[in-house]
């Protein structure tokens, strides 16, 4: 863990992002076992520090991720000028700062300068004013890594909820939910639960698209014609997938406790129960990428920005989860590399044995 470097993008400077970052790594000393780097601005960080606490929080500007040191707050300055901070309001300046910090952090993530990225909340309107072309972090980072498919996975101590469709208007959801898309999401979830969360044989519950999972065709036929075939195909590939389950009864009856992962068809179907059960202690993880990215499960919370009231629990969990996944991936790769090496050695021994046997064969007269 001591070799892990976690980058943290500052998010919207007018929201609570820097407050929860400073509370996490400045006051709670989170991440002492590994290095942390905040992508933003020393001046803006100082402004937020003076608002939330009188304690002496030390942070150090560095030129590159390679200069980061453990047990201190490292800061990479992503814009050179002084900026106007308008706490509690989305504006173009806040969007531009968040965009520049995110772009620099992702660039370092792509280059392997940092091992994982934790993203503080952004405001979609502010990002659009700054010319950001993506709906959110998930879509931007997936595009940056040229991923054909990724999975938005909400994680808490008791729940892991993934989405087939992310930030999509409800009127477009049904057309976007295809058998192929559901299957890809199931497979990504199965792989990430196995590798990133170290679950040997993960079980996955798939929720239905329609109310009551179509109620045997009484409320549409999508669940029988699209969702169920995707589940069956996943089973044929060795995945322990089950469903489709009616979402209301599934969560209401507590069935979610029985599964390692849950796949919802659209945003609110998955996030409403997740946040009702885990709000403030959940993490948003982008699964299916070659890199690790997490974020807290809350937004910019403009209504409490600058008041020192923001709860840092979700940010703390996002930082720790990022480090844990980096560690689990490295352990998995090492274990399977050793396994591959053993198989190679066994193969060479077998081949050598076959050669010896052939040499000892007595030729027929």
Dihedral (CA of 99, 103, 104, 105) sign: positive
- In three-state secondary structure terms, 326 is helix
Strands (E), 33-174: 35-40, 59-62, 73-77, 116-119, 151-155, 160-163
The answer to whether the CB of 59 falls within 8 A of the CB of 24 is no
Q: What is the reported pLDDT for 341?
A: 56
- Specify the pTM: 0.88
Nearest to residue 295, comparing CAs of 190, 154, 104?
Answer: 154
Strands (E), 28-97: 35-40, 59-62, 73-77
Q: What is the reported pLDDT for 352?
A: 44
Mean pLDDT confidence for 167-175: 94
Per-chain mean pLDDT for the chain: 90
Tell me how far apart the alpha carbons of residues 163 and 166 are, in angstroms, rounded to a whole number: 6
Least confident of 122-136, 170-184, 246-260, 339-353: 339-353
Tell me how far apart the alpha carbons of residues 47 and 41 are, in angstroms, rounded to a whole number: 10
Confidence of residue 340 (pLDDT cuts 50, 70, 90): low
Q: What does the pLDDT look like over 12-59, one tens digit per residue? A: 999 999 999 999 998 888 877 889 999 999 999 999 998 887 677 888
Q: What is the reported pLDDT for 70?
A: 85
Q: What is the reported pLDDT for 260?
A: 98
Mean pLDDT confidence for 100-121: 97
pLDDT at 130 over 70: yes
pLDDT at 325 over 50: yes
Domains of the chain (ranges; CATH) run 1-147+289-352 (3.40.718.10), 151-284 (3.40.718.10)
pLDDT at 108 over 80: yes
Provide CB contacts within 8 A for 102, sequence distance 6+.
9, 39, 119, 122, 137, 140
pLDDT at 98 over 70: yes
Confidence of residue 261 (pLDDT cuts 50, 70, 90): very high
Q: What is the reported pLDDT for 279?
A: 82
Q: What is the reported pLDDT for 246?
A: 96
Q: What is the reported pLDDT for 361?
A: 37
Q: What is the reported pLDDT for 280?
A: 82
The answer to whether the CB of 15 falls within 8 A of the CB of 300 is yes
pLDDT at 343 over 90: no
Least confident of 78-82, 120-124, 270-274: 78-82
Mean pLDDT confidence for 336-357: 52
Burial-class residue 168 by CB neighbours within 10 Å (0-12, 13-18, 19+): middle
Mean pLDDT confidence for 185-192: 97
Mean pLDDT confidence for 279-295: 94
Nearest to residue 300, comparing CAs of 105, 139, 88, 96?
Answer: 88
């Amino acid at each position: 863990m001591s070799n892990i470097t976690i980058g943290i993008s500052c998010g919207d400077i007018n929201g609570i992002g820097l407050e929860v970052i400073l509370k996490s790594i400045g006051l709670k000393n989170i991440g002492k076992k590994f290095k942390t780097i905040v992508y933003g601005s020393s001046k803006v960080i100082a402004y937020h520090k003076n608002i939330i606490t009188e304690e002496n929080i030390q942070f150090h500007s560095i030129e590159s991720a390679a200069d980061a040191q453990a047990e201190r707050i490292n800061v990479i300055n992503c814009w050179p000028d002084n900026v106007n901070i308008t706490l509690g309001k989305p504006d173009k300046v806040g969007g531009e700062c968040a965009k520049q910090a995110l772009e620099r952090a992702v660039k370092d993530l792509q280059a392997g300068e940092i091992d994982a990225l934790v993203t503080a909340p952004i405001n979609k309107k502010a990002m659009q004013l700054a010319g950001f072309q993506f709906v959110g972090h998930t879509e931007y980072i997936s595009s940056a890594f040229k991923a054909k498919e990724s999975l938005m996975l909400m994680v808490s101590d008791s729940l892991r909820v993934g989405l087939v469709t992310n930030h999509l208007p409800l009127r477009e959801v049904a057309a976007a939910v295809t058998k192929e898309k559901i299957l890809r999401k199931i497979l990504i979830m199965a792989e990430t639960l196995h590798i990133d969360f170290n679950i040997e044989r993960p079980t996955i519950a798939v929720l239905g698209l329609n109310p009551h999972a179509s109620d045997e065709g009484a409320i549409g036929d999508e669940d029988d014609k699209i969702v169920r075939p995707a589940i069956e195909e996943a089973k044929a590939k060795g995945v322990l997938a089950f469903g489709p389950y009616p979402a209301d009864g599934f969560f209401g009856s507590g069935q979610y406790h029985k599964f390692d992962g849950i796949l919802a068809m659209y945003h609110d179907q998955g996030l409403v129960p997740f946040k009702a059960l885990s709000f403030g202690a959940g993490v948003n993880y982008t699964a299916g990428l070659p890199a690790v990215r997490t974020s807290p499960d809350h937004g910019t919370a403009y209504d409490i920005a600058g008041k020192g009231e923001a709860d840092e629990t979700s940010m703390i969990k996002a930082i720790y989860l990022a480090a844990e996944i980096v560690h689990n991936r490295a352990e998995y790769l090492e274990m399977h590399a050793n396994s591959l090496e053993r198989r190679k050695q066994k193969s060479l021994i077998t081949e050598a044995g076959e050669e010896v046997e052939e040499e000892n064969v007595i030729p027929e007269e």
